[in-house]
Structure 1
Amino acid sequence: MKDKIIGWIGTGLMGNPMVKHLLNAGYTVHVHNRTKEKAAELIELGCTWFDTPAALAANTDVIVTIIGAPKDVEACYFGAEGIFTGLKAGSILVDMTTTKPSLAVKIAGAAVAKGAEFIDAPVSGGQLGAINGNLSIMIGGSREVVDTVYPMFEAFGKNIVYQGAAGAGQHAKMCNQITIAGTLTGVCEGLIYGLKAGLNLDTMLESISKGAAGCWSLDVLAPKIVKGDYSAGFSVDNFVKDLSIGLEEAEAMKLSLPGLALVKQLYITVQGMGKGASGNQALYLALEKLSNMDQ
């Protein structure tokens, strides 16, 4: 695998540390980002810059994308200077963005038409997971192709699970986001209740985090909330995007997910408070505001 040149598009909060892990593992990495300044550190570390996705695709063997919303992914692959205009036959495309499962299927079909392969591999674990190299990776696509790039995933992931055909990785990520949405609501309301009851929140968390309530949000995000730290490891704006995808996919499958719909509205409230760029633990601020409305 290390004889393959990796092209990486998206060098933000997640992409930057993931590329660093690849460099540390001995991979050759070419990069592109909408804003070149955000790739400056990686260029200094030895990555080669390309001005367009098309140019990068023409000079690499494995192209990884981890960017923004579905519209950004679509433009990156299908735009006038997108990946498919420069793609070489035999290349492997890997989209690690959280996006629509239907878009993953569309990209997979276009890749086959170009003599290439496609894998959807969204991740969970946030910026901290990317920095520590222990992301959870949910993968869809050909199992044979996945096995080919598995060593690359091992550079920044620890829980790497094959889910099925193209789009299955994205569906698994939606399950992840739906679960986090409900769990984090409970975490925030538990903290609000504990504060109102006069508990020492750190002491309370020490107890409940080791019992049946234990979860990543309780371990990582609850202490941040207690400290008033709403910095973004994963932003409210991105989470609203993900929850919107989940609701769209659920509607297409004739599923009603009322809990997810409610949490999305709560996060829109957080955006209305001007906290869209904050971490998704800023949900606490909206719930705290609602809980005190009668005072």
Structure 2
Amino acid sequence: MMQIEAGTTRIGWIGTGVMGQSMCGQLMDRGFATTVYNRTRKKADPLIDRGAVWADSPRLVAEQSDVVFAIVSFPRDVRQVFLCKNSGVLAGCRDGSIVVDMTTSEPALAIELYNTAKQVNVQSLDAPVSGGDVGAREGTLSIMVGGERETFETLMPCFEAMGKTVVYQGDAGSGQHTKMVNQTLIATGMIGVCEALLYAHKAGLDLEAVLRSVGSGAAGSWSLSNLGPRIVGNHFDPGFFVEHFIKDIGIALSESRRMGLSMPGLSLADALYQSVKAHGDADRGTHALMLALAEMSAVDWQNR
């Protein structure tokens, strides 16, 4: 197994959106030489301006890299980026390379990628993250990893550049299953955050004072502390897109049905977020759930 060292190990990065740009930047800050690709080149320009090298396809990224990370949008994008026979990452990897999918995706696809990579002597990890745009910018993400433990331990210098909590979860697919646990907690928790603030508003309370009181007590949560102030301030720009969250909830519901689980709370969250999308807010942050709930109660939240 290779040794990971800044200045020696060549990093490839695919996906330079809200999360990926900051995560890749953390690796560059540690001194890793980096090659990047994104479907829209303009979104990679800030990294290129900092010294990253542009490649015209995922395959060309792999040809210039020892380790390739990707964080894209949907499982179909993961399949295209890694498994496309002509232009995918695995088509360009050399023996002993490592690929890491940090997209929130399907556990079965993570296993398929692992097995396909193994056939060409490439190691694969599924390593989805939690912590949103704030965690990506600050290098404090939670990273949940599936695959071979030795590969996980080899990549710790990279993971530690991006995250504060890095945990090995088990075999391939385990990282994605853990992310489904995370998304289930967030989905149902966000309903509580929005309904509670809506209640506080209708009761005539000072919302900022309310946040100071409840945020430090038993009701405190990451979502309340980080997204509560954004909701109060009517800042609904995405730290994580509603559209992508609906995808995650769909994966979790599909997996729960496969395992014979009833998930009524998650099913409710799915219905509510579908309403957010129907109202034209799919490209806003997950906390835009407030806008749909407020409309149900005939509250003009943004002009309150």
Structure 2 length normalisation: TM-score? 0.95
Partner of 1:108: 114
Partner of 2:264: 258
User: Is 1:132 aligned to 2:138, yes or no?
Assistant: yes
- After superposition, residues 190-201 of structure 1 pair within 5 angstroms as 190-201=196-207
Helix, strand or coil at the partner of 1:6: strand
Partner of 2:9: 4
Partner of 2:302: none
Q: Which runs of 5+ in 2 are unaligned?
A: 300-304
Work out the number of aligned pairs and report it: 293
Helix, strand or coil at the partner of 1:162: strand
Measure, in 1, the Cα distance between the counterparts of 2:293 and 2:257.
Answer: 26
Alignment match of 2:190 (pick from 181, 184, 187): 184
- After superposition, residues 165-184 of structure 1 pair within 5 angstroms as 165-184=171-190
User: Is 1:218 aligned to 2:227, yes or no?
Assistant: no
Partner of 1:206: 212
Q: Which runs of 5+ in 1 are unaligned?
A: none
Measure, in 2, the Cα distance between the counterparts of 1:91 and 1:256.
Answer: 40
User: What letter is aligned with 2:231?
Assistant: I
RMSD: 1.0
Q: Deviations over 1:237-259 (max 9, x none)?
A: 11111111111111111111111
- After superposition, residues 1-295 of structure 1 pair within 5 angstroms as 1-2=4-5, 3-79=8-84, 80-292=86-298
Measure, in 2, the Cα distance between the counterparts of 1:254 and 1:70.
Answer: 23
User: What letter is aligned with 1:234?
Assistant: F
Residue 291 of structure 1, CA deviation: 2.5
Helix, strand or coil at the partner of 2:155: helix
User: What letter is aligned with 2:145?
Assistant: I
User: What letter is aligned with 2:127?
Assistant: A
Measure, in 2, the Cα distance between the counterparts of 1:204 and 1:86.
Answer: 54
Q: Give the % identical residues.
A: 46
Measure, in 2, the Cα distance between the counterparts of 1:149 and 1:100.
Answer: 22
Measure, in 1, the Cα distance between the counterparts of 2:91 and 2:28.
Answer: 27
Helix, strand or coil at the partner of 2:12: strand
Structure 1 ranges of 4+ moved more than 4 A:
none
